[in-house]
Amino acid sequence: MLVNCIKCHIEYKAFPSEIKAGFAKYCSRKCFNIGRLISINKECFTCKKEFMVYPSEIRKGRKYCSRKCYVNRNGKKTAIKCMICAKKIVSIPSRTRKYCSHACLRKAQKSKPSWNSNPIYRICLICKRKFRTILARAKDGNKYCSKECYLVEHTKNTWTTGICKGCHKEFRFMTHRKQTCCSLSCNMKWRIQLQDLDKREKRNCLQCTKKILVRACKIKEGRGKFCSRRCYSVWMSENRLGNKSFAWKGGITNLYKKIRALAKYRQWQQDICLRDKVCVLCTSPNQLETDHIKTFSSIIHQYKITTTAEAVRCVELWDIKNGRLLCHFCHKKTKSYGYNILNKKIIQNR
């Protein structure tokens, strides 16, 4: 397509895509460079004087003839005194500057009446309760103590009083909500009480005969016979040993292992740990083990113990004074440690 050059007015060929984009204005690079250097007169926004400017600068948004006019675009700077220290400061009329620095601003803020120094109290129009507010809100006409009271006045909601079923105290709630309790915690307590009254039964613990409440679902499953885990373990050690146990295989397990598996033996170990806390010989707190001063095997042979029931009745076997706490390395060095005794017997037999 033929197009006229803006600068030299000569016809030249240009592509349709260039014409659509708005680039087909100059016939050559020379005309383009000359065209860019043409300046246009424009009026300054501040001083209203005409000044020369290039088209590219107008596109970027130039409005002022100089830096001075740009600085004074909101009015000329004036000298003002600081309200605290009376120091002269320069300010623009559009800015409401009162203080020369942040330090003076902080002093002014401290001197103003704060939330604690000058409290303001109002009476709520709905619940007639006294509430605290700030000066700015009091000026605007703060009439309500909370959002709920505000909604009562500005919506159709009404308030009613009721007695909480959890804590049995009087509380207020919106009528459309139909609340039964004052809070979630009270609601949970009330629901648990309903479940307990309907579905729980009184029973005696099989070990200590203490009265306990057990749910019907647990009774159906055959549970809820003991008040605690400790009572369960003590009862099991007394009544589910030997041929009474469901896993009885004719006495395969060694007597030493049976005694060490008792709840009473574990309790004996715990008592020694609480008493000593660290290794008695080297005061190490790591890899702690319980040790018999008078050997475990010698007590069994002395009292001729053959069953776990006899072991439970033996007093010396469960005496804390006969035990001590040792670390693994110190325990290995003792004469009563497992393989040390075996080595002695082998030497004696030779």
pLDDT tens for the chain, residues 1 to 350? 788 888 788 888 888 888 888 788 888 887 877 776 666 788 888 888 888 887 778 778 888 888 888 877 777 777 888 888 888 887 776 667 788 888 888 888 777 655 555 678 889 888 888 988 877 777 777 888 888 888 777 776 677 888 998 888 998 887 777 788 988 889 888 887 776 655 678 889 999 999 988 877 788 888 889 999 889 988 887 887 778 877 777 776 788 888 888 889 999 999 999 999 999 999 999 999 999 989 888 898 899 898 888 898 899 999 999 999 999 999 988 887 875 655 555 445 54
Same-domain status, 67 and 82? no
Same-domain status, 340 and 266? yes
Cβ density class 221-232: b for 16+ within 10 Å, e for less: eeebbbbeeebb
Same-domain status, 55 and 13? no
Backbone angles phi, psi at 14, to 5 degrees: -140, 150
Residue where a domain stops, chosen among 51, 71, 91: 71
Q: Is residue 86 situated within a structural domain?
A: yes
Same-domain status, 92 and 11? no
Using DSSP's 3-state secondary structure scheme, residue 123 falls into strand
Q: For position 156, what pLDDT does the model report?
A: 61
Same-domain status, 9 and 61? no
Same-domain status, 345 and 261? yes
Same-domain status, 64 and 83? no
Same-domain status, 9 and 89? no
Number of domains in the chain: 4
Backbone angles phi, psi at 79, to 5 degrees: -85, 130
Domain ranges, residue 312: 253-349
Same-domain status, 286 and 332? yes
Q: For position 270, what pLDDT does the model report?
A: 92
Same-domain status, 58 and 83? no
Q: For position 222, what pLDDT does the model report?
A: 86
Beta strand segments in the chain, E: 2-4, 11-13, 40-43, 50-53, 78-81, 88-91, 120-123, 130-133, 159-163, 170-174, 200-204, 211-215, 288-292, 323-327
Q: Is residue 96 situated within a structural domain?
A: yes
Q: Is residue 157 situated within a structural domain?
A: no
Same-domain status, 48 and 99? no
Q: Is residue 218 situated within a structural domain?
A: no
Q: For position 11, what pLDDT does the model report?
A: 87
pTM of the model: 0.34
Same-domain status, 27 and 100? no
Distance of alpha carbon 16 from alpha carbon 2, whole angstroms: 10
Q: Is residue 311 situated within a structural domain?
A: yes
